[in-house]
Structure formats: C-alpha cells, structure tokens
Structure 1
C-alpha cells in the first residue's frame, strides 16, 4: 500500500495528538464558563478584559481545589491521556505530598484555565465572526480566505497544545526532590545488586576452587581414605555454597529473610575456623591468629571481614595451591587489621605444592600463574570495594622485601564512617 507524503507543515494538523490536546484545552475552558454564568457586568466589556477578570476570579477557586491532594493525581492522569507526552513518567500521576506539590498544582490549574480559555474564546469568536462574514452579502468573496483561516487556527491549536504539554511536564512532573529521591533509589538498588554479585562471587568462587582442588587431588592420589575425605570436603563446601546461593536468591526475590525457613544468616568472623579447615583439607597448611574479643565488631564488619578473608584464602588456593597460608586478624588502635600471607613453592604463584592435596591439585588443572598475576582479579577488586565502603583500605601484592610472599593487608575502622 502506497503511503501519501504529507508536507511537514501540515503533518501536525493531521495528527491525532493535536485534537486530543484541543479537547484537553476546551475542558479547561469549563472553569471559565462557570465564572461567566455567575460573574456580573460582562456586558460591554472587551474580550481581553472579560478573560482577565474571569481568570482572576477563577484563580481563587482553583487554588482552593489545588489544596486537595487527589487533585494532582486527577490532573496528571487526564494530562497523560489527552496531552500525549513522549514519556508518561514525565507527568506524575501521584497525589500531592506537600505544600510544594499543592502550589505547583495551583499554578498548573490557573495556567490551564487561562490557556484553555484563550483557545476557547478564539474558537467562539472565529466561528461567530467567520460564520457571519460568510453568511453576509459579500460571503462568497471571503471563501478563498477560509483555508488560510483554518490553517491559522490549526496551528494555534498545535502551539497551544505543545505549550500545555510543556506546562504539564514542568508543573505536574516530578519535583526536584522527587527526582533526587528516585536517583538515590536507583543508586541504592545498583549498590545492592553489586553487593549481591560480590557475595555470589566470593562464596561460589571459593566453593568451586575448593571443589576443583579436592577433585583433582582425589583423582591423582587414588587412596580410598583420601578420596573419602575429599568427597566429604566437597559435600560440605557445596552445602555451604547452596546456603549462600539460597540466601542471595531470597534477597533477589525481595522475600523477608527466614520467610521460607531455608535462608541462613550471613557468616561472620566466628565462622573463619571452618573456612581454614576447608583450606587445610584442600592441602594448604593454614596458620591463623585471631585476636578479636567477642562482641568487639559490629555485625556488618564481622560479615564483611569474613568475606574478605574468604576471598584471600580462595585467591591463595587458586594461584598457589599447596602453599602455606598465614592469616592474622587483630584489633589495634581502633582498627581491625586483616593480613593474609602465602609463599608459593619456589616463589611462584602456582607451581604445585608440597603436601598431597596441593601437589595433586596443581596437577589436576588448577591455574598456574605467577603471584603478580593476581592484581587484576575481580575478587581482589571486590576486597578493595568492600574496604572502601567500610571506610578502610586494602592493598595486595608481592612483599616489598623481595621474599616472594604474596600479602593481602586490610585495615578497617571499628566505627563505621570514622
């Protein structure tokens, strides 16, 4: 089917939105009509004076109507339907929440009545005067001017409708405070998604690393007792990972914690011995010193500390399987200090290892990288993000003394925000 090309200057006159906006303008003229019915002394006055005096009288009524919170919602819904905005969210459909919304609604009602009345009066005058001229004795001579008059009236409606839409977006749209609140809500949601992503990376990544090491070690060693122990560690690690995954899914579904009885609390620093046992079972000797009095750490700090140490242990198991790992946690000078140190065999990051599981894990396909290759990992970047959000700092890299050790050091203030 062939489409007929319409000149750009005529396209707005043929658009359905133009006539929907005309209806919206004429609805606003009803307020003017009510005043005209009861306002005395309009006989003999000029049209501009009638419009000005009627709008002045009507403004008082409109301001009283604007005090009703539901007025803003009713006007917003009507404007969305008839003004045809490009985006409906540009025009709010909520009730007034404060005096600022009520004042903006009042200005909108007054502006709507004034503009609608002007267009309505122009319509009445054009029909009356134009009809009188055409019905007069010289009516046929005015017929050539009829298309020009209709064209001018059409563009008057287009311009008034666009102005009405701009007023609606300005006065009925979200206030600066509402826009700020919406931006803050989006930022909070983004931060929450990032936090959940870190949770999944830390817990699932740790579980997969331990599982790969144990499976590879069991295959290489072949000792039934060792295989049974490896399977036990894999089972326990997988169970904890499933608990972490279920807890995260509960948060994603926005279900109240514990509503289905399956979600578990987030692990804290008191669960670190279990984490170290898992690393030892994977073949990496772990020496841990934890000097944190009970009840010293706030809940969020205890949970985030666990995740930081978990990622440090996972990093060591991944890049230096079988290498001894040293973890020191202590409270000094109002700060929590976390330090994870490991030295890979021969000073490298993943050269297999002494100890059955570590060496077998390296042979079983564990990535073999130099210690310096860890800096760009998502896990270490997540540790830095956690530390920064808690007001602390984190560093990771090869020891400055050239000993070949890889050191992860984190300092977190006990009082958040200090």
Structure 2
C-alpha cells in the first residue's frame, strides 16, 4: 500500500503536474485568439487549434535561446535525477532545433491532454457524488432508483487521475532527457573533455611527485647529515644545498600551479591560450641533469654519469620527460640507498633515447627508508608509454636498475 500511495503524495509529482499544465495554458491561449471558436465543443476546438499550435512551436524552436529556456525550466520542474541529463544550452545545430520542436509539440500535446482531464475528471467525480443522474464526460447516466452506487465510482476515478498525472510526469521527464539532453556528439565531446582533464590531473600529480618529492628527499638527507657531522664547512654546504633545492622546488611548484589554474579556467594565468606551452618550455630538460647530479653528490652519494646527448637534438617534450625520469631515479637511489654510488647513463642509440640509472641494492633491513607505494615507478612507466617507449625497473647483478627507452620521433 505505501508503494501505491507514495507517488501520489510526492511533491515531485505535483511539480511535474504544474509543468504539464503549462501546455494546457499555451493551448488555451491560442484558442482565445483563434477566430470563430464560439460554440465549439472542447474536442473540436482542440482539433482545430493543433495545426496552429504546431506551427507556432516549430517557429519558436528556430530561436536558439528557446532550447536553453526549455532546458532550464525542465531542470527546475521535472526534477531529473541528474541535472546533466537535461542540457541548458542554446541550439547550435539544425538537429538541435528539430529535437526542440519535437519536444515543444509533444510537451504541449501531453500537457493539454492531462490538463483537460485534470479539469474534467474532478468535475465528473463531483457529479457522481451529488447528482442522482450525473453527467460524466458529456454522457448523461440514467437515474438509479435503488441503492445509489454512483458515489462509489468517484474515489477510483480520482485515484486513476492521480496515477495518470504520475505517469504523465514521468513520461514528460523521459521526453525531456531524450529530446533536451545532450546529443550523441555532445556526449562524446563531454567524455573526451573528462578524459583530457583526467590526463591533465595525472600529469600535474606526476610533476608534484617528482619535483617536490626530490626536493624533500634531498632536504631530509642533507639536514640529517648536517646534524650528525661536526664540521662547520659541511654544515654550511648542506644548508646551501637545502636552500638551492628549496628554491628550485618553489619554482617547480609555481609552474605546476600555473598549469593547474589553466586547467581550471581554460586559459593560462595571463589569459593567453598559449601560456601552457610557455610554462612547459620553462620546465628543466636534459641539459640540467648535471646540476641534478651535483645535488645528489652534495647529499653524500658518489655519482658517475655519461651523458652523450646533445640537448638541442632532442624534442622539447622528450628532453623534459627524460629529466623527470632521471630525477625520479636519482631520488629513489638517495631515498632507499643513501650514500651508495649511483650510475647514470643517457645516450642515443638506434633512434631512441636510452636512460639508465643504477645504484647498489641495499638489503631491506639496512635501508633508511622502507620501500612502499611505487607511485614514482608507475609515473615513469606512464611517461615512457605516453611517448611510445617502455620502462623497466628491478634487481640486476646486485644493483637496482631503472632502464627507459623512448623513440626520438614521437609517435613512431
């Protein structure tokens, strides 16, 4: 019983009924100005007014703003489960205008029918209750001379009207979702936009992880060593490295925040569409790897490096991503094997950029920091895959080796 009565007591039902009644108001307004309607019956008047109604609605649908107005009204009165199911955008294509015209005609036709029944059914129920020979929908019933059973038919009639309003409201909502909702092309565009934003957020997360993670690792190692070593000169050098690393991290953070603002607002920090490219150009590349390795040496880890790559011969994106990969490899070495030798090799071979970072494999019991998470290595694999390359990491001959290969020609 509650399931039967709940829709009849729901506020959404009567808000949708109000939306349906607007269709009757429009049809009635047309009838008031339609010539020669005096003396017509209701059904005849509606039949004569339908062509005029349809013509007016088709003309109205040609106005782009009409689709937006109908979408906003449907969102407010039809109460969809998700607002996104009903668009609130102006018509941009002729297909949008056709769907809007179909919606307007269907809305007015359904609203006029439900509206007429909303007037006629209560009137018929009133007659059944009070008139011994009631007239129901224009049909005069014979007077019942025995037990009056006509009043017993009034409640079921009103109950049926209530459920008619419930189902008409649901049908109106389904029509709105189908005809006012985003088109397949718009849904595809929205899905592509969500995918692009997700990729952008992942890229920003990698940037923060690599730059800030490296800076914090170097800072912790230098601060710990300065606290233990009783050498003023070493302490001064450690503080200098901490200062420089922190400054570099602040610059990286500012670049990332610029990209974040651009992702949120759809434009760069200065409003220029090309500001993202400018920010990306400022990110460090392969030519700054020696400074990165100097930071690792100052943290107490011997570093041997072979860099046989003219930075000018690398595409900008390959140079920047290569730097981040080496940075993550060095950071992991400093974190999980502090003080152990690090070997870095960057070279071009067979049309590919090869990156290799190796450090001594320290037993788990002797590590200063236990291995967990693996987000950095996952980020490296994602960077390499996006550029058409591959990455591997693992134990090899007593060393932990990170190896990455990426083609020089992007998309090859």
TM-score strictly above 0.5: yes
Please name the residue that 1:357 is paired with.
none
- Indicate which of 327, 351, 362 corresponds to 1:348: 362
- Indicate which of 394, 400, 410 corresponds to 1:406: 400
Give the deviation of 1:394 after TM superposition: 0.3
1:24-43 to structure 2, matched below 5 A, reads 24-36=19-31, 37-38=33-34
Please name the residue that 2:163 is paired with.
155
Q: Which structure 2 residue ranges, 5 or more long, are not aligned?
A: 135-142, 272-278
Give the deviation of 1:66 after TM superposition: 1.0
Helix, strand or coil at the partner of 2:3: coil
Helix, strand or coil at the partner of 1:417: coil
Helix, strand or coil at the partner of 2:357: strand
Matched, 1:98 2:106: no
- Indicate which of 292, 297, 301 corresponds to 1:275: 292
Helix, strand or coil at the partner of 1:409: strand
- Indicate which of 69, 77, 83 corresponds to 2:78: 83
Helix, strand or coil at the partner of 2:391: strand
TM-score, normalised with respect to structure 2: 0.83
Give the deviation of 1:283 after TM superposition: 1.8
Q: Deviation per CA, 1:328-347: give whole Å up to 9, x if none.
A: 212233221111122x2xx5
Please name the residue that 2:392 is paired with.
395
Further displaced range: 30-39 or 194-203? 30-39
The CA distance in 2 between the partners of 1:229 and 1:397, in whole Å, is 33
The CA distance in 2 between the partners of 1:285 and 1:132, in whole Å, is 101
Give the deviation of 1:39 after TM superposition: 6.6
Say if 1:17 and 1:83, in contact at 8 Å, map to a contact too. yes
Say if 1:24 and 1:82, in contact at 8 Å, map to a contact too. yes
Measured at CA, do residues 349 and 136 of structure 1 come closer, stay the same or move farther in structure 2, by a change above 3 Å?
Answer: closer
Matched, 1:337 2:374: no
The CA distance in 2 between the partners of 1:349 and 1:297, in whole Å, is 37
CA root-mean-square deviation: 3.0
TM-score, normalised with respect to structure 1: 0.82
Please name the residue that 1:296 is paired with.
313
Say if 1:55 and 1:113, in contact at 8 Å, map to a contact too. no
The CA distance in 2 between the partners of 1:304 and 1:187, in whole Å, is 21
Say if 1:55 and 1:110, in contact at 8 Å, map to a contact too. no
Helix, strand or coil at the partner of 1:26: helix
Further displaced range: 130-139 or 238-247? 130-139
The CA distance in 1 between the partners of 2:206 and 2:198, in whole Å, is 12
The CA distance in 2 between the partners of 1:101 and 1:63, in whole Å, is 12
Give the deviation of 1:215 after TM superposition: 2.2
- Indicate which of 218, 228, 231 corresponds to 1:223: 231
Measured at CA, do residues 111 and 380 of structure 1 come closer, stay the same or move farther in structure 2, by a change above 3 Å?
Answer: same
1:135-174 to structure 2, matched below 5 A, reads 138-139=133-134, 141=148, 142-174=150-182
Give the deviation of 1:240 after TM superposition: 1.1
1:183-222 to structure 2, matched below 5 A, reads 183-222=191-230
Structure scoring higher RCO (CA < 8 A, sep ≥ 6) equals: 1
Say if 1:319 and 1:349, in contact at 8 Å, map to a contact too. no
Please name the residue that 2:14 is paired with.
19
Measured at CA, do residues 349 and 321 of structure 1 come closer, stay the same or move farther in structure 2, by a change above 3 Å?
Answer: farther
Measured at CA, do residues 285 and 194 of structure 1 come closer, stay the same or move farther in structure 2, by a change above 3 Å?
Answer: same
Q: Deviation per CA, 1:262-290: give whole Å up to 9, x if none.
A: x8932112211110110111122222222
